[in-house]
Amino acid sequence: MPVIKTHASTPIPEDARIALKTAYGSAIETIPGKSEQWLMCLFDECAPIYFAGDDSEPCALVDVSVFARSEVPGSAWRRFTEEVTPAICRELGVDASRLYIRYGWTPDFGWNGANF
C-alpha cells in the first residue's frame, strides 16, 4: 500500500503527472515487497510553499508512505530518492536543493473496508 503525495508550488500539467506517476511506479519497486499494482499517487499543485523563508522559486515536497510490518531499510529510501529526483526536478521545474522527499511506514493500513 504505497502512497505518494506530491505537493508542488507550480502547476502540474497532465503530462507531468503521467511522467511522475510512471517514475514513481518504477521507483517504488526499490522498496522491498512494493509494486505499482498497489501504488496510489496524489498531486497537489500551486501550493504556497516557502523554503528558507522564500517562495520566489519553485519548491516541492514529495511524501512517500508504505504499509510494512517492519521498518524499511534506509538503503531502499536512498535508491528511491536517486531514481525519482531527476524526474521531479525535470517535470516540476524544481531545483533539487528546493525539494524534500519525506518517508514513512506504518504497520497498519486499511483497504476495502478492513485492515491488513
Q: How does pLDDT run along the chain (116 residues), one tens digit per residue?
A: 899 999 999 999 999 999 999 999 999 999 999 999 999 999 999 999 999 999 999 999 999 999 987 889 999 999 999 999 999 999 999 999 999 999 998 888 898 998 88
Quote the pLDDT of residue 109. Answer: 87
pTM of the predicted model, to two decimals?
0.93
Considering just the CA atoms, what is the radius of gyration of the chain in Å? 14
Q: Cβ of 79: how many Cβ atoms within 10 Å?
A: 15
How many CA atoms does the CB half-sphere of 100 hold within 13 Å? Answer: 10
How many CA atoms does the CB half-sphere of 111 hold within 13 Å? Answer: 10
- The CA-based dihedral angle spanning residues 8, 103, 106, 115, taken in that order and rounded to the nearest 10 degrees: 40
